[in-house]
Amino acid sequence: MVSITLFLTALLINLFYELSHSFLYKTCLESSLRKYVYLMVKAAIFDGFAIVLMYYVARGNVILFIIFSLTFAYVWEWYSLKKKKWEYSSKMPIIWGVGATPLFQLALTGLASLYFMAYF
């Protein structure tokens, strides 16, 4: 039951996060509405599954969860940029060669998801 609740919570929080920082992606700015919606939903689903997976790999340890999520996000962003899966707009802040908002996204949205699960 924790997996389903965590996934659904993470999905909703990540959908909001994806929508709020999508203007930092040239890929999103140049997409049709149909493709934009597809990209947002696909990214939120992927992030929801990633958060559940990292939660279980970290065995509920918040510090390990943060380390795993930052590491995973960095590697995924770097790989995706090299493979041209997406492209940043000129407004994206860059840290260590990747976008700042996607770098911190899984850690922040994952912690927010765990918080909402624990207190709501």
Expressed as residue numbers, the domain containing 48 is 2-119
Average pLDDT, the chain: 95
Per DSSP, helices labelled H in the chain are: 2-21, 26-29, 33-57, 62-82, 100-119
C-alpha Rg value of the chain to the nearest Å: 14
| pLDDT of 68 higher than 80 | yes
Number of domains in the chain: 1
Read off the pLDDT of each residue in 69-88 and give the average, rounded to a whole number: 96
Distance of alpha carbon 47 from its chain centroid, rounded? 5
Read off the pLDDT of each residue in 37-60 and give the average, rounded to a whole number: 96
> Which pTM was predicted?
0.92
